Amino acid sequence: MGLKREIKFFITCQRYNWLSFLAYRMQAFVWLSLNALFILYGILTVTIIYGVSSGISGWSYYQMLFLIGTTGITVNAVWYLCNPNGLVRQLRSGKLDSTFLRPYSRLNIMLSASGNVDNSTTAISSLIMMAYAASKIGVDAAGMLLYAALMAAGISAFVLFVMALSVLAYLLIRGANFVNGVLNFMSSSSKYPLSIFGFAGQLIFTLLLPIGIASYYPAEFVLGRLSLSSAALVFVLALLVGAASYVLFHKFMKGYVGGGG
Amino acid sequence: MRVSLRQAFAYKLDFIFTLILGLLVSLVMIFVWYAVYANSGVSSIGGLSLNAMYVYFFMVNALSFITYNAAVAQTMQEDVQTGAVSTAMARPIGYNTNLFLNSLSVAIVGGLTVTLPMLLIAIVLSHTAVSPAALGLLLIEVLLSFAITTCIGYVIGTLSIYFVNIWGIINLTGFVYYFLGGSLAPLSLFPKWLANILMLLPSQLMMYTPAATLLGIIPMDEIIREIAVGAVWLAALVLFTLLWLRRISRRVVAVGG
């Protein structure tokens, strides 16, 4: 019953977010179109790299496109749900204080209030590119299903991680512009195989900044580079990161004493 | 200038972390190209050594803080939305002049706090020999790019009179600049036909040509030609912007509250 109510609240907020966004139709159209084009950055970079060289060791052109598409879906799903800088600005100005009095979970309220609906088109264009690359590579349906499950677990964990980090940033430095920067940095990094960053880099992007569990490892699995048992470990890791982030989020929120003036 | 500095440092740690992350984004491309060079087993791709590629991405990132002026359009949009445009236009200093000086101070602050230190780090670490002539040409290119993007900023900013919210258009402009200006890869690595077209656009002055000038990877006559291309664009844009602003100022009806 409680979960049903939370979901209903979330959907209502999404509807409101979309209506607010569409209030300025021209800018909404430009935003959505522009965001759909962002995927071109990755495509063009990889096309140039593979046009002038033999590319990155062990990765074909279409496998790289698949990875870029996967990262695009992951990162933009996270952006859709939370914008750390926007969230911290709302906490700072006390805009959420009255909403916190409502009978919904704080996490749900904050997720509903801070996302960017316009990132949906980037996620969709990434999905299209991922599907195109998958068709070129020849990925089987069962593999794709497991890939989707791994990604869903990874994205959930990653969203919780970003939320916890945003609240921590608010408590420590009252700003989260840098958390947006962290997200952009992870987005740029995970478009490429994590192996290029060496063992230390791979460890950082798996445990410290867990974008790897949401995009790189699912992509590796579907491309046949990761065994089923390793994929299961990634799934468990996603659950652990998600649970730890959830606990930390609530712990950090205890330090919130209301904003604004 | 003082106001811009204060705004930039309002949340000091946030500002510093953001800068560090800007550097890290350059590092990503450095890792990528290191892997590409290692896999290809060559010392040079498109006439660029691995070392030059490293420096290129550092410079491109650093230069974007001063060669692209987004502040004019952003401020105009805010002024139209809040109605502040009416009081701003009533001030003794002209509105457009005020906008220009404001955006210039933002660029100077960006230049002093980000671009200059990053360029120095890139030059020192890579042992790149930079001649005084290259520095002079770089300055001209940066000023030209700033002036061109300022003119475009005025035109884009006035669109807020029609559409009120123009964040999408402002970001679209930025996207086009970054996309075509050489932030993805040096323009010399693009297919020849595409590179030739891009070199005729003003966006080449934003990142590629200044970075290539400092690195010394394009000959002097080509640099002069690119500066000339930029100057022609600037002349045309100044003329168009002045005419456009004169025409559009009649349509300003301030509200807000």
Q: What total number of domains does chain B contain? A: 1
Is B176 contained in some domain? yes
Does any CB of chain A come closer than 8 Å to the CB of residue B9? no
Give residues 18 to 37 of A whose Cβ lies within 8 Å of B: 24, 26-31, 33-34, 37
Cβ-based contacts of B184 with chain A (< 8 Å): 41, 44-45, 48
Is A87 contained in some domain? yes
Lowest mean pLDDT among A72-81, B7-16, B33-42, B126-135: B7-16
pLDDT at A1 over 90: no
User: Residues 6 or more apart from B134 whose CB is under 8 A from it?
Assistant: B213, B214, B216
Does any CB of chain B come closer than 8 Å to the CB of residue A173? yes
List, in sequence order, the alpha helices (H) in chain A.
2-21, 25-37, 39-52, 61-81, 84-93, 97-100, 106-114, 119-137, 141-173, 177-189, 198-203, 217-222, 228-253
Cβ-based contacts of A173 with chain B (< 8 Å): 11, 13-14, 17
Cβ-based contacts of A45 with chain B (< 8 Å): 184-185
The residue of chain B with its CA nearest to that of A53 is: B40
Q: Do B184 and A178 touch (CB under 8 A)?
A: no
Is B256 contained in some domain? no
Tens-digit pLDDT profile for residues B86-108: 777 777 777 888 888 888 888 88
User: Residues 6 or more apart from B237 whose CB is under 8 A from it?
Assistant: B148, B151, B152, B202
Is B242 contained in some domain? yes
Is A259 contained in some domain? no
Q: Do B32 and A56 touch (CB under 8 A)?
A: yes
Q: What is the pLDDT of residue A196?
A: 93
pLDDT at A261 over 60: no
pLDDT at A124 over 50: yes
Which residues span the domain enclosing A14? Answer: 2-253
Is B31 contained in some domain? yes
Is A261 contained in some domain? no
Is A258 contained in some domain? no
- In contact, B108 and B201? CB cutoff 8 Å: no
Tens-digit pLDDT profile for residues A3-58: 899 999 999 999 998 998 888 887 788 888 888 888 888 899 999 999 999 999 88
Q: What total number of domains does chain A contain? A: 1
Mean pLDDT over each residue of chain B, to the nearest integer = 84
Give residues 176 to 215 of B whose Cβ lies within 8 Å of A: 179, 184-185, 189-191
Which amino acid, residue B1? M
Q: How many C-beta atoms lie closer than 10 Å to residue B59's C-beta? A: 28
The residue of chain A with its CA nearest to that of B12 is: A173
pLDDT at B182 over 50: yes
Cβ-based contacts of A20 with chain B (< 8 Å): none
Q: Do B32 and A37 touch (CB under 8 A)?
A: no
The residue of chain A with its CA nearest to that of B163 is: A26
Task: Provide mean pLDDT across the span A175-182.
Answer: 77
pLDDT band for position B147 (cuts 50, 70, 90): very high
Closest by CA to B36, choosing from B57, B51, B55, B50, is B50
The residue of chain B with its CA nearest to that of A186 is: B25
Tens-digit pLDDT profile for residues A62-87: 999 999 999 999 999 998 998 888 88
Does any CB of chain A come closer than 8 Å to the CB of residue B44? no
Does any CB of chain B come closer than 8 Å to the CB of residue A93? no
Does any CB of chain A come closer than 8 Å to the CB of residue B22? yes
Lowest mean pLDDT among B33-37, B144-148, B153-157, B165-169: B165-169
Does any CB of chain A come closer than 8 Å to the CB of residue B168? yes
Q: Do B39 and A56 touch (CB under 8 A)?
A: yes
Does any CB of chain B come closer than 8 Å to the CB of residue A12? no
Nearest to A185 among B24, B37, B167 (CB): B24
Residue B247 and residue B241: Cα distance in Å, rounded? 10
Which residues span the domain enclosing B242? Answer: 2-251
Using the Cα atoms of residue B134, residue B57, residue B33 and residue A61 in order, give the sign of their dihedral: negative
Q: What is the pLDDT of residue A231?
A: 94
Q: Percentage of chain A surpassing pLDDT 70?
A: 98
Cβ-based contacts of A177 with chain B (< 8 Å): 11, 14-15, 17-18
pLDDT at B3 over 80: no
Residue B4 and residue A244: Cα distance in Å, rounded? 40
Cβ-based contacts of B14 with chain A (< 8 Å): 169, 173-178
Top residue of B7, B14, B81, B171 to mutate, by most chain A CBs within 10 Å, is B14
pLDDT at B257 over 50: no
pLDDT at A191 over 80: yes
Residue B161 and residue B158: Cα distance in Å, rounded? 6
